Amino acid sequence: MSKTTDPVALREWIVIGAITDVQQAVPYRTRVLGQEIVCLRKDDVFEVHELHELDGDLTPQRPVQVRTRYGHVWVCLAGEARPMIEVEEFADPRRRMITWGGVYVRTSPQRLVENFLDMGHFPFVHTGILGAEPVTEIRDYKVELRAEEAEIWATECMFYQPKASTAADTGRDTSYIYRTSGPFVVVLYKTAEEEGAFDNIGMLVQPLDEEHCRVFGYTLLLEAHTTDTEALHFQQTVFLQDRLILEQQTPRRIPLYEKNEIPARADAASVGYRRWLRAVGMQFGVLPQQVKEGSPQ
């Protein structure tokens, strides 16, 4: 698939891997928005170039913007990038960062973000961990635009969870705040084991093309009892359960009109996300018009 021409997607900062994934002097090849790229690392300096076919081989051509932040390598394929999300919790010396990800998923990046925002599937997909029957009700919560309408925030989210984290030894009501920054990044603030505090979890989606992604992420933990391995296994267990569902969803690209997929009251965050995608004119990874029954997708 060729590189997208969608200006909204091209202006985004997109993660291509954890910093530790890119080894010294070893070309790191991957794909972003349909464009083949290569990343080279010399000490702490990273360079990224687009790859184009020349005489039958892919060779480095135009350089693209690159940054290292939040434990990951980010690129932007446009000349002028949209501001990168600011996550203040990374400056908190009490927190440990555990990176997790590089998981391949056959779906659009927007499907991944929307699934992350969905509390309704907790009792059915993550049974015994993030939810369990018969406690399936989604309580009312608020959705609003912030940061000059560049981010969607869902606040006052509350859900009963049998095991909200690796360190949890009993079920409890867990408070959630979802922060969606652009089409490919979503951050979760979740009740921590430390009273009155929140753990910070980020999902960073690398769109390979419109229907295939890799997912990276991090967890910023406050408590010291959980080992890095335990925290990693917890996040991977939850996400791999999601992947089974995500790869069965059709169409893979996300419909932007509610008539294609009827939302419920519990889907307020998803509705807000889709409205934002429509408002900014997103073309990559979406079905912008209503799909008629029986028509090709």
- Average pLDDT, integer, range 147-151: 88
For the chain, give the DSSP string: -PPP--HHHHTS-EEEEEGGGS-TT--EEEEETTEEEEEEEETTEEEEEEEEEETTEEEEEEEEEEEEETTEEEEE-SSSPPPPPP-GGGG-TTPEEEEEEEEEESS-HHHHHHHHH--TTHHHHSBTTTBBTTB------EEEEETTTTEEEEEEEEEEES-SSTT--S-EEEEEEEEEETTTEEEEEEE-SSTT-EEEEEEEEEEEETTEEEEEEEEEE--SSS-HHHHHHHHHHHHHHHHHHHTT-SSSSEESSTTTS---GGGHHHHHHHHHHHHHT--TTEE-SPPPTT---
Q: Which residue has the higher pLDDT, 63 or 268?
A: 63
- Domains by residue range for the chain, with CATH: 7-76 (2.20.25.680), 88-284 (3.90.380.10)
What are 207-260's pLDDT values in tens digits?
999 999 999 999 998 887 888 888 887 777 777 787 778 788 889 999 887 665
What are 151-164's pLDDT values in tens digits?
999 998 887 766 55
**Prediction pTM value:** 0.86
From 5-9, 100-104, 110-114, the region with the lowest mean pLDDT: 100-104
What are 177-187's pLDDT values in tens digits?
999 999 999 99
What are 1-58's pLDDT values in tens digits?
689 999 999 999 999 999 999 999 999 999 999 999 999 999 999 999 999 987 767 8
